Structures are given as structure tokens and as C-alpha cells.
Amino acid sequence: MIRRVSNVVEDRAGGASFMRAALRYVFPDHWSFLLGEIALYSFVVLVATGTFLALFYSPSNAVTVYHGGYAPLAGQEMTKAYASGLSLSFDVPAGLLMRQTHHWAALVFVAAITMHLLRIFFTGAFRKPRDVNYYVGLTMLIIAVLEGYLGYSLLDDLLSGMGLAIGYSAALSIPIVGAHLATLIWNGPFPGTDAFFSRMFIAHVFILPAVLAALIGFHLAMIARPHHTQFAGPGRTERNVVGIPMWPGYALRSVGLLLAVAGVLFMMGGLIQINPIWLWGPYHTYQATNGAQPDWYLGWLIGALRLVPSFDVTIGDYTLIPNPFWGGILFPTLVFGFLYAWPAIERRRTGDHAQHNLLDRPRDAPSRTAVGAAVFTFVATVFFAGSADRAFVQIGVGYEIQVWIYRALTLVLPFVAYWVTRRVCEELRARELALGTASPIRRIRRGPGGGFTAPGA
Amino acid sequence: MSAVKALARGLWRYLVAAILVVFGRRRTDESSEEGLVERDARSSPRAELAVAALLGLAAIAAVAFVLVYVASLDTQLLGLAFGLALLLLAAAAVVAAKAVVVQEERIEERPGFSHPDGGDSEAVTELESTIAGAADGISRRRLLGAATGAAGVALGAAVVVPLASLGPSVDDRLRANPWGAGVRLVDEKGRPIPASVLETGSFLTAFAEGAPTEELTNAVVVVRVDPSDLELPPDRSDWAPRGILAYSKVCTHAACSVNLFRKPLYPPQSPGPALVCPCHYSTFDVLRGAKVVFGPAGRPLPQLPLRIDRGDLVAAGGLSGNPGPAWSGVRES
């Protein structure tokens, strides 16, 4: 049987030796290498559950009167989009399970990508030959965040409408072109027309997932070509990779992870309520709810929008740059700009243009680790500032005071994080050097004066 | 002392590495595969039984899912059964991976991409000459290059232009709003609003009569305060009959609905009455023409001058500024 299949592969594609090499491909073992796989498997669950949802969702903001299974909203005017979301939750068999699993999977998807990004950054895995793949990964993170935002906006409940209003304002705030861009996307002034909902739907279920799938394929191919990175250890060099072969050991482990991710997501989807849109009610431009929070991966943006003090850039009495630009456009542009630029910045700082297949431990590159910790702290502080209204309700510290504290913290904490991280890395390394257990992998450079330096140490 | 220890440690590491290399080579020679350093094909009978049991349980959970789907459609039970089936399968796969199938460790050589001494490798040189070789014998290279560039740019522009059919151009549609002198304020159902329904300290939402309520520039929030507290700009002194004020309800920051009215519980100590947007907590001073007193909004809420006509609220003029979020070119106030 196996021989017959192998023969088919060889006779039709001459692929037997290629397949054998693929089956013996070596995966080095470390728990942190699984973060990207969790993201991949969340994407699988997203496509599966999303396909189910797309069969019932209706992308239209035409007004209808609700007569579905949720009695408290019976007789209310709402958009067809919101009504189909309610019908998915109450009338379609297993619809709520699929909707909630899809939502949880989206949250886990972005979380896993973010953790994976942190792993890649702090271990130096973005260095040549993997810098291009790092840019692809960053691009996928941006698309994933946008995809999630579109996903919960499609439902047209009160919260998602508020989110779209903010998105519209951020688009509108882009200097010079903003108004044109926003009316182009929304097919007119907010809240837009039916066409806007079709566009969101097509973008969410086709364009962005197709782009993501293509980039995932490229990402995996670009991992396999130079082979996986590995941490330094006995027998592990820049020119080899030590670990478990794909078949059978790693394939079974990885299938196990896929099933575990899917199992946990479906259990969450069944047991833990998320985004109960029937409680928020339909969106109207003249309504809003207090204590509104977006999905977690937009927390940093709502935090930024809230922290910026009141000012527009004006010429005379005319606005040039409206306020949402700072938190909604400039802030994420700078954060991602930093992430995209970092490999080049590090090459320039260290003069290191070599190929790297062995990973750094964070302490092995104190400078990079400290810069990364500072930027992470900055974004995290802004993220937590986004929850100040909730904290006000929970612990009673005044909202305005909290915002002033957060404004100060965003300016101070990154420097503290930089200094502390750098010291910790250097201390850890110094202790290892004293004990003789320091990682021996270190680039030593000889300067023009004849002295030796270890960049980043 | 520590130097001796470090030396001993280093020697030990090299010894281990050397042993590993020798050991690995020898094992490689024995097995048929290059790079194989460890191969243990002893499966544990207990683990095989465990995998079989987990697979059986997974099948039971999957059947339970189908039964729940047929019988009750309870979301919790559906999620529990299906999730459990997947998790049991996952457990079976992991136990099989770690204790049933052959255990191996392998060393694989990486493909070397760059020239080890730096500089361009032979492959790069050959690739370059292959690509560049296409242009051998062409004399007007710059002319052809420029012409191709011009055609490409023009065609690219032509491809992008149809994107403009996505939406209407920004004419006065962003500035248009339904308010003007004589427009009656109505509630959600289109009924006029008598001034008498507003007590001091209360607020409600109103719309321009005859205009769609979902239009962003329509809704206004109407509040009533003690007229003696008002500190409106001098040119707005008659905009608030009986202390009744109307402001655009759409936040000038990010278009959320300004839905919160902060009414001082004990005026001597509390901050004054204010309209607050629940999205980013821009706070507008009701008594001073909705001036921004906290939060990110860059502009005040436009004010609607009011008069009372036969007991009902009517606009005495247009909004004082452009309602809704700002863009390049809109007036600040």
C-alpha cells in the first residue's frame, strides 16, 4: 500500500526523494517554537468556523424589523447585518458555538502572533537569512489585526458601530487625503451605505484571508529553506540543525498541537460567553454605551486615542491635522515602523552582516533586549491606559487622574525598562562568565587600535 | 580558582562535543541514514493501550456531540463534547509521538547560502550574467528603458484610477447638515419637543424634523441648566432660552455619540455640568459653549441656537460649526 502510493508520487512527479527529504526534515525542540504553530492552527479554526458563519451572515445595513428567537428585541428596527448576527446566535443550530469559537480563535490568533513576534525579536531570529520572513510576519500581524477589527464590525451591534465610527474618524484625520479616503471607503459620509457592508464582508471573508493564506505559505517555505533556527548547545552549530525528524515524531506532535488548539478553542466557544451582541443592541449613530472596550488587540489604539491631550494642528482657524491622527494613525505607524526598521538598525549598530542560524538568549544581546523591553513597555503602558475607565469603576481611582498618571508613565517607564533590562542582562552574563557557563557563541571584533570588542555584550 | 574551573568546564564541553561527534558518526555508519544520532524503536505496550483508549474516548465524545446536536442543541454541551473529542485526539497523538512511534534525534546539514568568505558566490555571478545577458547587443538601452518606464507609470495610473468609483468625491457632503433657522427639534419618533419637558439638570436627544436620524450630522443633545450659571460667549447670549442648550451630539474627536451628562451632585465641590463622550472621555463644558475641558477632542461641540416657538423647541439658526469628526480643511470652531 505504502509502496504503491510512493510509486504514484515517483512516477507522476518524480517526487519520492523530495518527499523523503521533507519527511526527514529536522525540527529543533523548544516550547517557544510552538507559538507560531498555535497561530497557524488558530487560522485553520478561523477558516473552518468562518466558512460556516459566512453561509448565514447578510452584509447589508438596510433596515429590517426583527422577528427572531430573541424576544427582548422583537419588533425593533435594525440592520439586516445585525439581525443575521442575532439569527446566527439564536436560530441557526450550533450557530452560537461557531460564532463564539470564531471570536475566541481570532483573539488567540492575534495573541499567538504577538507572542511569536516577541520570541523572534528577543532571540534575534529576525537576522539574515530570515529578515525577509520577519517582514512577512509583521505584515501578517497587521492584516490579522485589521481582519479582526472588520470581523467584529460586521455585526453592526452598538459596540461595533462605535468602533467603526472611531475607524472612520481616524481615516478622516489623515492630513490632506483623509476626507477623500474615508468617503471612498464608506461610500459617502459615515455611516456609509449598503456598499460599505459588502466591502467589509468581501475584505473580511475573501481578500484578507486569501492574502494571509498566501503569506502563510510563503512564510513556511521561507522557514523550511534555510531550516529552523536553534538555540546553542552541544553538537549544534551555525551549519547544522539538531532535533526530531518530521516523520513520525514531529508530525504526531504537531497534529496533537493542532487538535489541542482546536479543542481548547471549541471548548471556550461553547463554555465561555464572548461578545453577546444581543445585550449591546443595534447601532445608531446617536447612541453609545459607557465602558466600551474593543477586542484586546485594539486596546493599545484606544489607549493611545485616550491619552493624547486635546490639540489639533491648525492653520489660522482651519484644521490641518485632527486629533485622532496622533493615537489612531501615527502611534501604530511608529510602532510598526520601529519593528520593520529594527533588523537594519541592528545591522548598522553592530556591523554584523553575517548569517545567523543560532539564536541568542535575550541576555546575550543586552542592547537589543533592552531596546525591545523599552518599546514593549511603552506599548503596554498605552494598552493599560485604555482600560482606565474600567479601572475607575472597579477600584474607584478617578479617570482624569489615571490619565494624567498614564501620560507620565508612558514617558518614564520605557527608560526605566531599558535601564533595568540592560543591567539584568549584563549581570546575568557577568555571573555566567565568572562561572564559566556563558554561551560560547559570540562575535568578537578586532578594532583598528588592536583591541577586541564583543558587539552587544 | 574560578579560572581553573572555567578551564575544566571548557575542556569538559569539548570532550562531550568530541564524544558526540564520534558517537554520532559511528551510529550514522551503522544506520542507513545520514545524520541520525539516536533511534529508539522500543514502543511501550502500556502506551499503546493508552493511545487506543484515548482514541476510543475521542470517538465517544464525537458521538456525544452528534447526539447533543440532534437532541438539545445546547451551546455549552456542544462545545464541551466537540472540544473534548478534539482534546482526547490531541492527547492520543502526543502520547503516540512520545512513547509509541520510534524515538529519533537527527542532525541535518543546512544549505549554505552565502559565500563563506563573504563576497558574491559563483551562483550570484552566473545569475547576474544570465539576466543581464538578455540585453547583449542592444544599442538604445536608455531610450528603451525610459519608454518602458513611461508606459509602466501611465498604465499603473490608469489601473488605479477606477478605484475612484468606490465612493463619491468629497464635495460639500461632509459639511452638509440639516440644521438652520426655523428647523423644529423632534424626538426619535418625529414628535416636537415642548420646552416644558426639560427640567433643570435633565438632557435628551433631538433631531432635525424631516431629516434621517442615522445621518451623523443630525443628532443634537439638549440640556437644561440654571440660566444664571451660563457663561456663554457674548454673541451667543440669546441662544439658550430658559437655560436650554443644544449641542451637536457627535463627538468632534472620533464620531462617537456624546451620551454621558455629568450633572454635579453637590455644585460647590463638584466640577460643573459637562457632556462626556464614552469612547475616549472627551469632556465638554456645557456652560461655556461646550469648550473642551478634558480628553482628546480638539474642537468644541458645535452649538445650536434655540428659540421657543409656541412652547416647542426650534432652531434659531444653523450649528455654530461643523458637526462630527474633523478633517484637513474644516473650521476649528
Q: Tens digits of per-residue pLDDT, A101-126?
A: 999 999 999 999 999 999 999 999 99
Q: Does A173 touch chain B (CB under 8 A)?
A: yes
Nearest to B257 among A188, A286, A389 (CB): A286
Q: How many CB atoms lie within 10 A of CB A242?
A: 21
- Contact between chains at B105 and A248 (C-beta distance less than 8 A): no
pLDDT at A438: 60
Averaged confidence pLDDT in chain A: 93
Q: Does B171 touch chain A (CB under 8 A)?
A: no
pLDDT at A49: 98
Residues of A in contact with B79 (CB under 8 A): 97, 100-101, 266-271
Cβ contact B179:B250 at 8 Å: no
How far is residue A250 from each of residues A109, A228, A253, B93, B149, measured CA to CA in Å?
Answer: 22, 13, 5, 10, 50
Write down the residue that cell numbers 541520525 correspond to.
B36
Q: Does A394 touch chain B (CB under 8 A)?
A: no
Asked if pLDDT for residue B29 goes beyond 50, the answer is: no
Which residue type sits at B152? G
Looking at chain B, the number of H-run helices and the number of E-run strands are: 5, 13
Asked if pLDDT for residue B35 goes beyond 50, the answer is: yes
Residues of A in contact with B217 (CB under 8 A): 189
- Contact between chains at A286 and B213 (C-beta distance less than 8 A): yes
Closest to A288 measured CA to CA, from B53, B61, B258, B78: B258
- Contact between chains at B113 and A129 (C-beta distance less than 8 A): yes
Name the residue in chain B with its Cα closest to that of A166. B254
pLDDT at B42: 81
Cβ contact A212:A142 at 8 Å: no
- Contact between chains at B9 and A436 (C-beta distance less than 8 A): yes
Q: Does A105 touch chain B (CB under 8 A)?
A: no
- Cell numbers for A279, please give them: 445585550
Nearest to B219 among A166, A176, A285 (CB): A285
pLDDT tens track for A68-101? 899 999 999 999 999 999 999 999 999 999 999 9
Closest to A235 measured CA to CA, from B109, B203, B154: B109
Q: What whole-number distance in Å separates Cα of residue A336 and Cα of residue A145?
A: 12
pLDDT at B33: 75
Q: Which CATH architecture has domain B174-332?
A: 3-layer Sandwich (2.102)
Q: What whole-number distance in Å separates Cα of residue B194 and Cα of residue B150?
A: 67
Which residue type sits at B182? G
Rg of chain B (C-alpha set): 39
Residues of A in contact with B297 (CB under 8 A): 310, 323
Cβ contact B221:B246 at 8 Å: yes
pLDDT tens track for A389-406? 999 988 888 899 999 999
Q: Which of A53-67, A263-277, B13-27, B218-232 has the lowest mean pLDDT?
A: B13-27
ipTM entry: 0.90
Kindly give, in sequence order, each residue whose CB lies less than 8 Å from that of residue B43, ignoring residues fewer than 6 positions away. B99, B100, B101, B102
To which H or E segment does residue A445 belong?
strand A445-446
The pairing of beta strand A77-79 with beta strand A318-321 = unpaired
B27 — pLDDT class (breaks 50, 70, 90): very low
Q: Calculate the CA A146 to chain-centre distance.
A: 9
Strand, helix or coil at B36? strand
Cβ contact A273:A89 at 8 Å: no
pLDDT tens track for B290-306? 999 999 999 999 999 99
Q: Which of A142-151, A187-196, B5-14, B288-297 has the lowest mean pLDDT?
A: B5-14
- Contact between chains at A252 and B103 (C-beta distance less than 8 A): no
Q: How far is B6 from chain A (nearest CA, A)?
A: 5
Which residue type sits at A171? A
Kindly give, in sequence order, each residue whose CB lies less than 8 Å from that of residue B41, ignoring residues fewer than 6 positions away. B102, B103
- Contact between chains at B281 and A306 (C-beta distance less than 8 A): yes
- Contact between chains at A263 and B297 (C-beta distance less than 8 A): no
B34: left (phi over 0), alpha (psi -120 to 50) or beta: beta
DSSP-derived secondary structure letter, A360: P
pLDDT tens track for A239-254? 899 999 998 999 999 9
Nearest to A324 among B6, B164, B254 (CB): B254
- Contact between chains at B280 and A243 (C-beta distance less than 8 A): no
Q: What whole-number distance in Å separates Cα of residue B135 and Cα of residue A402?
A: 66
Q: How many CB atoms lie within 10 A of CB B316?
A: 19
Q: How far is A414 from chain B (nearest CA, A)?
A: 23
Kindly give, in sequence order, each residue whose CB lies less than 8 Å from that of residue B26, ignoring residues fewer than 6 positions away. none
Share of residues in chain B with pLDDT > 70 (%)? 90
Q: Does B295 touch chain A (CB under 8 A)?
A: yes
- What phi, psi does A356 have (nearest 5°)? -130, 120
DSSP H helices in chain B: 2-30, 45-71, 75-95, 122-132, 141-160
Q: How far is B305 from chain A (nearest CA, A)?
A: 20
Q: How far is B119 from chain A (nearest CA, A)?
A: 11
- Cell numbers for B111, please give them: 544549505
Q: Which of B11-25, B69-83, B88-102, B201-215 has the lowest mean pLDDT?
A: B11-25
Closest to B320 measured CA to CA, from B223, B263, B246: B246
pLDDT tens track for A27-76? 999 999 999 999 999 999 999 999 999 999 999 989 999 998 999 999 99
Q: What whole-number distance in Å separates Cα of residue B316 and Cα of residue B308?
A: 9
pLDDT tens track for A373-383? 999 999 999 99
pLDDT at B28: 41
Q: What whole-number distance in Å separates Cα of residue A421 and Cα of residue A434?
A: 20
Asked if pLDDT for residue A456 goes beyond 50, the answer is: no
pLDDT tens track for B109-162? 988 776 555 667 888 889 999 999 988 888 998 999 999 999 999 999 999 988
Asked if pLDDT for residue A453 goes beyond 70, the answer is: no
Q: Does A240 touch chain B (CB under 8 A)?
A: yes
Q: What whole-number distance in Å separates Cα of residue A277 and Cα of residue A82?
A: 8
Closest to A97 measured CA to CA, from B80, B61, B84, B66: B80
Q: How far is B139 from chain A (nearest CA, A)?
A: 36
Cβ contact A243:A54 at 8 Å: no
Averaged confidence pLDDT in chain B: 88
pLDDT tens track for B218-237? 999 999 999 999 999 999 99
A310 — pLDDT class (breaks 50, 70, 90): very high
How far is residue A29 from each of residues A230, A233, B106, measured CA to CA in Å?
Answer: 8, 12, 12
A344 — pLDDT class (breaks 50, 70, 90): very high
Nearest to A173 among B77, B168, B327 (CB): B327
Q: Does A320 touch chain B (CB under 8 A)?
A: yes
Residues of B in contact with A318 (CB under 8 A): 329-332
Rg of chain A (C-alpha set): 25
How far is residue A76 from each of residues A41, A65, A197, measured CA to CA in Å?
Answer: 39, 6, 20
Question: What is the maximum span of chain A, computed from C-alpha positions, in angstroms?
Answer: 84
Name the residue in chain B with its Cα closest to that of A386. B280
DSSP H helices in B136-204: 141-160
Cβ contact A253:A244 at 8 Å: yes
CA dihedral A300, A305, A306, A307 (to 10 degrees): 80
Domain ranges in chain B are: 2-166, 174-332
Question: What is the maximum span of chain B, computed from C-alpha positions, in angstroms?
Answer: 105
Q: Which of A128-132, A264-268, B170-174 has the highest mean pLDDT?
A: A264-268
Share of residues in chain A with pLDDT > 90 (%)? 81
To which H or E segment does residue A418 belong?
helix A399-435
pLDDT tens track for A191-243? 988 899 999 999 999 999 999 999 999 999 999 999 999 999 888 989 899 99
Q: What whole-number distance in Å separates Cα of residue A339 and Cα of residue A345?
A: 10
The model's pTM is: 0.91
To which H or E segment does residue B294 belong?
strand B291-294
Chain B segment 77-106 residues within 8 A of A by beta carbon are 77-80, 82-94, 96-98, 101-106
B26 — pLDDT class (breaks 50, 70, 90): very low
- Contact between chains at A179 and B255 (C-beta distance less than 8 A): no
Write down the residue that cell numbers 559565500 correspond to.
B115
For B85-145, the DSSP string reads HHHHHHHHHHHIIIIISPEEEEEEEPPP-S-TTSS--HHHHHHHHHHHGGGTT-S-HHHHH
Size of interface A-B (CB pairs under 8 A): 325
Chain A segment 265-284 residues within 8 A of B by beta carbon are 265-271, 284
First-last CA distance in chain B: 77
Q: What whole-number distance in Å separates Cα of residue B223 and Cα of residue B185?
A: 13
Kindly give, in sequence order, each residue whose CB lies less than 8 Å from that of residue A10, ignoring residues fewer than 6 positions away. A16
Asked if pLDDT for residue A436 goes beyond 90, the answer is: no
Asked if pLDDT for residue B43 goes beyond 90, the answer is: no
Q: Does A182 touch chain B (CB under 8 A)?
A: yes
